[in-house]
Amino acid sequence: MAKPMRSLQIGAGQAGRTTAFPADPVDRKRLVSELGSGHDDLLDFVENAPFALHLAAQDGTIIWANAAELDLLGYVAEEYVGRNIAEFHVLRGTAHEILRRLSNREELRNFETRVRCRDGTVKHVAINCNVMWRDGRFAHSRCFTRDITSRVAADLALRTALAEKEILLREIHHRVKNNLQLISSLFSLQMLAEESERVRERLSVAQTRVRALGIVHNLLYETENYVEIDLAQLIATICEKFVDALDPVSGRVRHRIAVAPLRTNMDRAIPLTLLICEALTNALKHAFPDGRPGTIDVSLDDNGGESLLLRVSDDGVGFDPAVGSAEDGKTLGLKLITTLASQLGGTAEFGGSCGAEIRVKFRRHQLCG
């Protein structure tokens, strides 16, 4: 059974007079004529609708408010109707701005502001408001109000959490960066103290791997989207920075990149970039002895099917059969490449007819799924 319809109470110089909505007798007769016996249901719907609604005069005096509006602010009709809307806004200038825009025939949509309730609490609300114009004159405004306090609080909590995480990420980044630089410096000091050329060479390779970690760490820290990382951009940047780091002066080794427009996530990007760095290290250290120039090609082919192929090749001297292969464990670099490929669900192959070539085959979902 519908609730009894609360009568509309007129304020602003008409105290004590009550009527059912709408107040205009002519409009009411027309409404009754058009709706017949159903008009009571329509009026009951407006009065008891779940959204807050009030009507106000051009000067902001509240003419009528439904139950939801009164519940929102904690008032009864006798306390609310007849007062000015400016009394309920936290900032009084807000009401002036609303009335100014409405008088200029603007329509407000999702106008966010704060209102003060009867118990002194403040709520964040979003207002949709327009004007009923009659014969070119401002008859009254119609304001629909939504309580968005919970949403505003959730947004604030989210922004706070994100700010805290950004601070944490910056702190972690600086600590990791400083620690990697310290480790690289320790390798340099140890190399100066070593007399054995073989030991110095091994320390240099280890230092290069630490540098690779630092480059990867910096690039991924600067990435805006950790969920979808652009592989073409990532690999191009890795190659440029890594080749420049290992061959900073001569520029004798060029590199060419051809990577399909693919995306991956952080968990896959780290081992993939370390794998590429290891392959580049192998080429830069061994492919071009005695200062000879050369070219390194890095490609990630996408044939549109379920497989992807990563290739790192060079036009250098090729693999030395004396060092063995990754499978027999005689070279740490190739073994690392095999291990990193396995982490990504791929398989690594080594060969090349004119120079060396490292091929890693992936299933699409293993790298980009």
User: pLDDT digits over 153-208, tens only?
Assistant: 999 999 999 899 889 888 988 898 899 889 989 988 998 888 888 888 888 878 87
As a whole-number percent, the residues of the chain with pLDDT over 90 amount to 34
What mean pLDDT do residues 332-349 have? 88
Q: Residue 268 and residue 263: Cα distance in Å, rounded?
A: 10
Mean of pLDDT values over 9-35: 42
Residue 5's pLDDT band, with cuts at 50, 70 and 90, is very low
How many angstroms separate the CA atoms of 27 and 21, rounded?
10
Q: What is the pTM of this model?
A: 0.58
Percent of the chain's residues with pLDDT above 70? 84
The predicted structure's pLDDT at residue 8:
42
CA distance linking residue 195 with residue 188, whole number of Å: 13
Q: Which of 8, 34, 10 is nearest to 20 (CA)?
A: 8
- Provide the 10 A C-beta neighbour count for residue 122: 11
Lookup result for tokens 């970039």:
273
- In the prediction, which pLDDT does 125 show? 95
Q: What is the mean pLDDT of the chain?
A: 81
Residue from 54, 45, 48, 49 nearest 9 by CA: 54
Highest mean pLDDT among 33-47, 248-262, 263-277: 263-277
The pLDDT value recorded for residue 4 is 41
Please identify which residue in the block is written with the tokens 């609080």.
153
Is the model's pLDDT at 242 over the cut of 90? Answer: no
The stretch 106-133 carries a mean pLDDT of: 94
Give the Cα separation of 122 and 157 in Å (integer): 18
pLDDT for 38 equals: 55
Determine the pLDDT at residue 360: 92
If one counts every other C-beta atom within 10 angstroms of the C-beta of residue 341, the result is: 23
Question: Which amino acid makes up residue 224?
Answer: E
Yes or no: say if 348 and 326 are a contact pair by the CB < 8 Å rule.
yes
Cα 170 from Cα 148, distance rounded (Å):
33
Task: Decide: helix, strand or coil at residue 144.
Answer: strand
Give the C-alpha separation, 225 to 265, whole Å: 9
Contact predicate 126/145, CB 8 Å: yes
Q: Scan for tokens 């008859």, then name that residue.
A: 139
Residue 124's pLDDT is 96
Q: What is the pLDDT of residue 81?
A: 92
